[in-house]
Structure 1
Amino acid sequence: MITLIKNGYVVDPASAREGKFDILIKDDRVLKVEANIKPDDYKIKVDKVIEAGGKFVMPGFIDLHVHLREPGYEYKETILTGSLAAACGGFTTICAMPNTNPALDNPDTLKYVFDQAERGLVNIYPIAAITKGQEGRELNNIAELVKAGAVAISEDGKSVMDTLLYYKAMEEAAKIGVSVFAHCEDKSLAADGVMNAGEKADELGLPGISNAVEDIITARDVLMAKETGAKLHLCHCSTKGSTFILDMAKQKGINITGETCPHYFTLSDKDIPEDDANYKMNPPLRSPEDVEAIKNALKNDILDVIATDHAPHSMEEKEESMLKAPFGIVGLETAFSITWTELVKTGILSYRQLVEKMSLNPAKILNIDRGCIGEGSVADIVIIDPDKEYTIDKNEFFSMGKNTPFHGKKVYGKVLYTIVSGQVKYEYANS
């Protein structure tokens, strides 16, 4: 299969290329990237031509933080529907978090994910649980899980509160060279909180979660990464304090990266209109001051990655009060457009930075052959219409989850094509 993408504006930091280029794809690889490619010059017959004039062409996005819910919670999402949502959102690779039922804590459950992923549209890599059943009591065989295909380890959805056990996990991860993805939450301090502690929580009569809940465990995990030499990745940073700690750790030469999510640089607790569980996520929406800190950390490359923390739930679950409803919102189908609208069009991030944070840096953290459109690289590519304005409509999501605070939000930037290993897996109907 030969595909030619014509006249697109290519943004590819990995190859230091930005500008108008054509891309010639043969089977699953990029064959040529240059201006005005003429197939006859290469004695090649092109099977498909995609006209990308006025459009952006970027490496496919990589989401380090997705809850696919399968096995065990297929009423919320399946690996197949999650992959459909990912392709629609421009993601060519996603990482499946381990808090399923059973948890991704042994080679058999990892194999199940890989088997189901063969039916999907995008690359899916599992992240394995640190402890058995994610119960925080007994360490998993990390080497065995990495050998079985896990690209990282995490207890996401909670922190490993047993510091000694977590220290041993970091030591083992350092020996193997696999990243530790940290969900930073002091569970005892969080108690029964459901939203950010502050005036809005008081106004709604809901228990709050202080910034210290995140910051304390962030500091602990950074110190342990320094001691053990483990590669630490901070998940869903939401506070000014966590970005400050991340910045200090980097300056000290600690092997650390950090991610945030679109809701943390777009919404604050003041945007919560009422007791609406579509605004309930963990960590919670923070103060306007925290939102500005997250934006600055992205702009100054303190935060390396924009992930989604895609967390689908049923409509019935999210119709409950925030006191009873589960934490989490969906994000695969909205992350790019929100990032483009809120950060790129406003001048906070450059085109290059967007690609670094949504593609190149995630690929580096996972140590996978993705995040680049250089000649010979895997042809994972997304084509974007930067000027397309539309209104987010949860009823049009491919995801089974409709739990989003962004329903009805006007945004710019539409994914037109998602190409995975040289094959068009998603094409916008009006492209």
Structure 2
Amino acid sequence: MKPMLIRGGRVVDPSQKLDAVVDVLLAEGLVARIGENLDAPEGAETIDAAGLVVAPGLIDVHVHLREPGQEHKETIESGARAAAAGGFTAIVAMPNTDPPIDNPANVGFVLAEGLRAGGARVYPTGCITVGQNGEQLTEFGELIEAGAVAVTDDGRPVSSASMMRMALEYALAFDLPVAVHEEELTLSRGGSMNEGIIATRLGLTGIPNEAEDVMIARDLMLAELTGGRLHVQHVSTRRGVELIRAAKARGIRVTAEATPHHFTLTDAAVAAYRTDAKMNPPLRSEADRQAVREGVRDGTLDVIATDHAPHHYDEKEQAFEDAPNGIVGLETSLGLSYTELVGTGILDLSQLIDRMSCAPARSMRLDTGMKLGSLAVGFQADVTLIDTRIEWTVDRATFLSMSRNTPFHGRDLRCRAVRTIVGGRTVWSA
């Protein structure tokens, strides 16, 4: 692999508190040097990055790739390429496939297919419980040895408090993050959108905030009891943000996600039974949306993650109650996050890159084990070149993802990745 010199870009790397116009030299798959007026080694590829932002590669820690078992929605290859087109150099794949990723062989399959795909890096997670049935813990040590970076039953909550306690205690032996989908099923059962005036008007059964809040509170207490590493996925409620903020103040080991759809949209997007706006947790009220935005601003929600959930057109074209939950997000996340957060003054550019690169790496331990989330010398040569001046309109027909289920079709955005570099090799460019 020949060296690559990225010349004259604005390098923004929160992990080093760096924001300056300097050059970045990549060699042998690693960051080799950063500085002014670097000389290009013989045979190096030189990229003129004048006017562009040079960031440590973006990382999405919550992606559904659907393979094995639902390849008509997405494959590991198509998801890895869609991720690269969105500026992501690494993604963390959820294990709720068919069959679930609950054993070393299935972890190895995802890892191997991710390497073969040639897009963003793909890191598997393993299930917390066998078959995601909540009854028996998987062999965490074997999953890690096979390549899993975390455990989660995402798509399903761990309903048993004693099982969740055991998971946190078991994971502690490996310093393994336990990522949780927070939903109290007896409160959410039968619901298909946020409980409120819009659900009443549409005649749909609502899901109260408390279905999420109760489980967040429980798991924060269990994390405090055990000392385990808790990662709360797709936080959508005011109380959830408050609970996590208070837990962090008490020193509980917790990280948490916000999704672009939860800090951009409210349940008003469900008007006319719009299934592209159906997700779990559901789009909430304006007060909840503002709380999520504030949580991202102050770092309570340290990670921006897409919860990329592809579905076939025919599946979404059902009655609202019958349609599956979820939207695609890999190719819109950066533009939405910049437009909604930086464009409105909630975050500055360095904070946005921290939430989309450095903090995701820390939350899944990818900064230490894999050397991701930084442009420090010796880290992986994973770089995202970003043009914050680009104005563009979301067009689902252009997605590299195999699915098109997005409520953002036709939305005008600003900021886009123009080149994605993984291991010193360009895997996507505009």
CA shift at 1:142, angstroms? Answer: 1.4
Matched residue, 2:97: 100
Matched residue, 1:340: 338
CA distance in structure 1 between the aligned counterparts of 2:34 and 2:275, rounded to whole angstroms: 46
Contact preservation (8 Å) 1:158, 1:187:
no
Matches within 5 A, 1:135-174: 135-174=133-172
1:90 is aligned, of 87, 96, 100, to: 87
Matched residue, 1:397: 399
Matched residue, 1:289: 287
CA distance in structure 2 between the aligned counterparts of 1:365 and 1:237, rounded to whole angstroms: 15
CA distance in structure 1 between the aligned counterparts of 2:376 and 2:82, rounded to whole angstroms: 26
List alignment gaps of at least 5 residues for structure 2: none
CA distance in structure 2 between the aligned counterparts of 1:140 and 1:26, rounded to whole angstroms: 39
CA distance in structure 1 between the aligned counterparts of 2:261 and 2:202, rounded to whole angstroms: 20
Contact preservation (8 Å) 1:243, 1:302:
yes
Contact preservation (8 Å) 2:270, 2:278:
no
Query: Which secondary structure state, in structure 2, belongs to the residue aligned with residue 118 of structure 1?
Result: helix
CA distance in structure 2 between the aligned counterparts of 1:376 and 1:170, rounded to whole angstroms: 32
Contact preservation (8 Å) 1:99, 1:155:
yes
CA shift at 1:46, angstroms? Answer: 4.0
CA shift at 1:376, angstroms? Answer: 2.1
Contact preservation (8 Å) 2:329, 2:406:
yes
CA shift at 1:38, angstroms? Answer: 2.6
**Residue 423 of structure 2 is aligned to residue 421 of structure 1:** yes
Contact preservation (8 Å) 1:4, 1:46:
no
Matched residue, 1:298: 296
1:225 is aligned, of 217, 223, 226, to: 223
Matched residue, 1:376: 378
CA shift at 1:244, angstroms? Answer: 0.2
Query: Which secondary structure state, in structure 1, belongs to the residue aligned with residue 289 of structure 2?
Result: helix
RMSD of the alignment, in Å?
Answer: 0.9
1:363 is aligned, of 340, 361, 364, to: 361
**Residue 350 of structure 2 is aligned to residue 352 of structure 1:** yes
Greater shift in the superposed pair: 347-356 or 278-287: 347-356
CA distance in structure 2 between the aligned counterparts of 1:163 and 1:319, rounded to whole angstroms: 37
Greater shift in the superposed pair: 257-266 or 26-35: 26-35
CA distance in structure 1 between the aligned counterparts of 2:220 and 2:246, rounded to whole angstroms: 10
Query: Which secondary structure state, in structure 2, belongs to the residue aligned with residue 129 of structure 1?
Result: coil
Matched residue, 2:14: 13
Contact preservation (8 Å) 1:276, 1:321:
no
Query: Which secondary structure state, in structure 1, belongs to the residue aligned with residue 113 of structure 2?
Result: helix
Amino acid across the alignment from 2:5 = L
The count of aligned residue pairs is: 424
Matches within 5 A, 1:195-206: 195-206=193-204
TM-score norm. by structure 2 comes to 0.97
CA distance in structure 1 between the aligned counterparts of 2:182 and 2:260, rounded to whole angstroms: 18
CA shift at 1:122, angstroms? Answer: 1.6
Query: Which secondary structure state, in structure 2, belongs to the residue aligned with residue 128 of structure 1?
Result: coil
* Residues 49-71 of structure 1: per-residue CA shift (max 9 Å, x gap): 21111111101111110000000
Query: Which secondary structure state, in structure 1, belongs to the residue aligned with residue 173 of structure 2?
Result: helix
CA distance in structure 2 between the aligned counterparts of 1:336 and 1:93, rounded to whole angstroms: 14
CA distance in structure 1 between the aligned counterparts of 2:171 and 2:115, rounded to whole angstroms: 28
Matched residue, 1:28: 29
CA shift at 1:78, angstroms? Answer: 0.2
Matched residue, 1:187: 185
Contact preservation (8 Å) 2:65, 2:93:
yes
* Residues 389-414 of structure 1: per-residue CA shift (max 9 Å, x gap): 01000110000110000000000011
CA distance in structure 1 between the aligned counterparts of 2:33 and 2:169, rounded to whole angstroms: 43
Matched residue, 1:327: 325
Greater shift in the superposed pair: 277-286 or 157-166: 157-166
CA distance in structure 1 between the aligned counterparts of 2:54 and 2:48, rounded to whole angstroms: 11
CA distance in structure 1 between the aligned counterparts of 2:189 and 2:178, rounded to whole angstroms: 25
Amino acid across the alignment from 1:205 = G
* Residues 197-239 of structure 1: per-residue CA shift (max 9 Å, x gap): 0011111111111000000000001001111111001000000
Greater shift in the superposed pair: 28-37 or 242-251: 28-37
List alignment gaps of at least 5 residues for structure 1: none
Contact preservation (8 Å) 1:268, 1:287:
yes
CA distance in structure 2 between the aligned counterparts of 1:165 and 1:377, rounded to whole angstroms: 37
Matched residue, 1:38: 39
Query: Which secondary structure state, in structure 1, belongs to the residue aligned with residue 116 of structure 2?
Result: coil
Amino acid across the alignment from 2:60 = D
Contact preservation (8 Å) 1:370, 1:378:
yes
CA shift at 1:196, angstroms? Answer: 0.4
**Residue 47 of structure 2 is aligned to residue 75 of structure 1:** no
CA shift at 1:117, angstroms? Answer: 1.1
CA distance in structure 1 between the aligned counterparts of 2:345 and 2:20, rounded to whole angstroms: 18
CA distance in structure 2 between the aligned counterparts of 1:169 and 1:37, rounded to whole angstroms: 49
Amino acid across the alignment from 1:70 = E
* Residues 136-162 of structure 1: per-residue CA shift (max 9 Å, x gap): 112111122122211111110010111
CA distance in structure 2 between the aligned counterparts of 1:195 and 1:347, rounded to whole angstroms: 30
Matched residue, 1:249: 247
Contact preservation (8 Å) 2:275, 2:320:
yes
CA distance in structure 1 between the aligned counterparts of 2:50 and 2:155, rounded to whole angstroms: 43
Amino acid across the alignment from 2:67 = E
Runs of 4+ residues deviating >2 angstroms: none
Contact preservation (8 Å) 1:385, 1:414:
yes
CA shift at 1:170, angstroms? Answer: 1.2
Matches within 5 A, 1:37-56: 37-39=38-40, 44-56=41-53
Query: Which secondary structure state, in structure 1, belongs to the residue aligned with residue 22 of structure 2?
Result: strand
